[in-house]
Chain A
Amino acid sequence: MKNYIINALVKLWKRGSRLMIISKDEILHIANLADLNIKDDEIDEYAKNLQDILNFVNILNKVDTENVEESIGVVNNTNVFRKDEIKVFEDKDALLQNAPDQESNMFKIPKVI
Chain B
Amino acid sequence: MSREDYEMVIGLEVHSELSTKTKIFCSCPTEFGGEPNTHCCPVCMAMPGTLPVLNEKVVEYAIKAGLATNCKIADVSKNDRKNYFYPDLPKAYQISQYDMPLCEHGYVEIEVNGEKKKIGLTRIHIEEDAGKLNHDDYGRGSLVDLNRAGVPLIEIVSEPDLRSTEEVDLYLKKLKSILEYIEVSDCKMQEGSFRADVNVSVRKKGQKEFGTRTEMKNMNSFRSIIRAIEYEAERQIEVLEDGGKIDQETLRWDDVSGKTFPMRDKEDAKDYRYFPEPDLVTIKISEEMIQNIKNSLPEMPEKRRERYVKEFNLPEYDAKVLTQEKALSDMFEQANNICKNPKTVSNMIMTDIIGYLNFEEIEAKEIPFTAQQLGNLVLLIDKGTISSSIAKKVLQEMFENPREPQKIIEEKGWIQISDEGAIKEVVLKILEANPQSIADFKAGKDRALGFLVGQAMKETRGKANPQMLNKMFLEELKK
Residues of A at under 8 Å CB distance from B?
A: 29, 32-33, 35, 72-75, 77-89, 92, 95-96, 101, 103-112
Other-chain residue from A74, A84, A103 in contact with B56 (beta carbon distance below 8 A) = A84
CB contact under 8 A between A78 and B143, given known A72-B78, A86-B21: no
B182 surroundings in chain A (CB, below 8 A):
none
CB contact under 8 A between A33 and B271, given known A74-B278, A81-B59, A84-B56: yes
The 6 closest A-B pairs by CB, nearest first: A89-B41, A81-B56, A106-B143, A87-B27, A84-B57, A107-B144
Interface of chain B residues 212 through 258 with chain A (CB within 8 A): none
For B84, give the chain A residue with the smallest CB separation.
Answer: A33
Contacting pair A84 B136 (CB below 8 A): no
B283 surroundings in chain A (CB, below 8 A):
78-79
For B145, give the chain A residue with the smallest CB separation.
Answer: A106
CB contact under 8 A between A77 and B281, given known A35-B85, A105-B37, A107-B143: yes
- The distance in angstroms between the C-alpha atoms of A108 and B143, with both chains bound, is 5
Mask: chain B, 24-38; 1 = CB below 8 Å from A; 0 = not? 000111000001111
B78 surroundings in chain A (CB, below 8 A):
72-73
For B83, give the chain A residue with the smallest CB separation.
Answer: A33
Contacting pair A110 B142 (CB below 8 A): yes
Residues of B at under 8 Å CB distance from A?
A: 20-22, 27-29, 35-38, 40-42, 45, 53-57, 59, 76, 78, 83, 85, 87, 100, 133-136, 139-145, 268-269, 271, 273, 276, 278, 280-284
Contacting pair B28 A88 (CB below 8 A): yes
Contacting pair A78 B284 (CB below 8 A): yes
Q: Distance in Å from the Cβ of B57 to the closest Cβ of chain A? A: 4
Contacting pair A95 B21 (CB below 8 A): no
Other-chain residue from B45, B142, B281 in contact with A73 (beta carbon distance below 8 A) = B281
A80 surroundings in chain B (CB, below 8 A):
53-54, 280-281
B54 surroundings in chain A (CB, below 8 A):
80-82
- The distance in angstroms between the C-alpha atoms of A64 and B53, with both chains bound, is 34
Contacting pair A105 B55 (CB below 8 A): no
Contacting pair B28 A106 (CB below 8 A): no
Contacting pair A89 B56 (CB below 8 A): no
Contacting pair A85 B27 (CB below 8 A): yes
CB contact under 8 A between A86 and B22, given known A78-B281, A92-B37, A110-B142: yes
B268 surroundings in chain A (CB, below 8 A):
32-33
Contacting pair A82 B27 (CB below 8 A): yes
Q: Most A CB atoms within 10 A — which of B37, B55, B56?
A: B37
B139 surroundings in chain A (CB, below 8 A):
111
Q: Distance in Å from the Cβ of B83 to the closest Cβ of chain A? A: 8
Contacting pair A95 B45 (CB below 8 A): yes
- The distance in angstroms between the C-alpha atoms of A81 and B85, with both chains bound, is 28
B136 surroundings in chain A (CB, below 8 A):
103, 108
For B92, give the chain A residue with the smallest CB separation.
Answer: A35
Other-chain residue from A32, A84, A101 in contact with B21 (beta carbon distance below 8 A) = A84
Offer 14 A-B interface pairs, CB within 8 angstroms, sorted by A.
Answer: A74-B278, A78-B284, A80-B280, A81-B54, A84-B20, A84-B55, A86-B21, A88-B29, A92-B37, A95-B41, A95-B42, A103-B143, A108-B144, A111-B142
Q: Distance in Å from the Cβ of A53 to the closest Cβ of chain B? A: 15
- The distance in angstroms between the C-alpha atoms of A89 and B29, with both chains bound, is 10
- The distance in angstroms between the C-alpha atoms of A18 and B26, with both chains bound, is 43
Other-chain residue from B20, B37, B140, B276 in contact with A95 (beta carbon distance below 8 A) = B37
Other-chain residue from A82, A106, A109, A112 in contact with B37 (beta carbon distance below 8 A) = A106
Contacting pair A109 B276 (CB below 8 A): no
- The distance in angstroms between the C-alpha atoms of A111 and B138, with both chains bound, is 11
Other-chain residue from B42, B59, B142, B273 in contact with A109 (beta carbon distance below 8 A) = B142
Other-chain residue from A73, A82, A104 in contact with B55 (beta carbon distance below 8 A) = A82
For B24, give the chain A residue with the smallest CB separation.
Answer: A82
Q: Most B CB atoms within 10 A — which of A35, A74, A103?
A: A103
CB contact under 8 A between A109 and B141, given known A79-B284, A95-B37: yes
- The distance in angstroms between the C-alpha atoms of A58 and B59, with both chains bound, is 36
Other-chain residue from A75, A106, A109 in contact with B281 (beta carbon distance below 8 A) = A75
A73 surroundings in chain B (CB, below 8 A):
78, 276, 278, 280-282
Q: Distance in Å from the Cβ of A110 to the closest Cβ of chain B? A: 6
A96 surroundings in chain B (CB, below 8 A):
37
Q: Distance in Å from the Cβ of B125 to the closest Cβ of chain A? A: 15
- The distance in angstroms between the C-alpha atoms of A85 and B29, with both chains bound, is 9
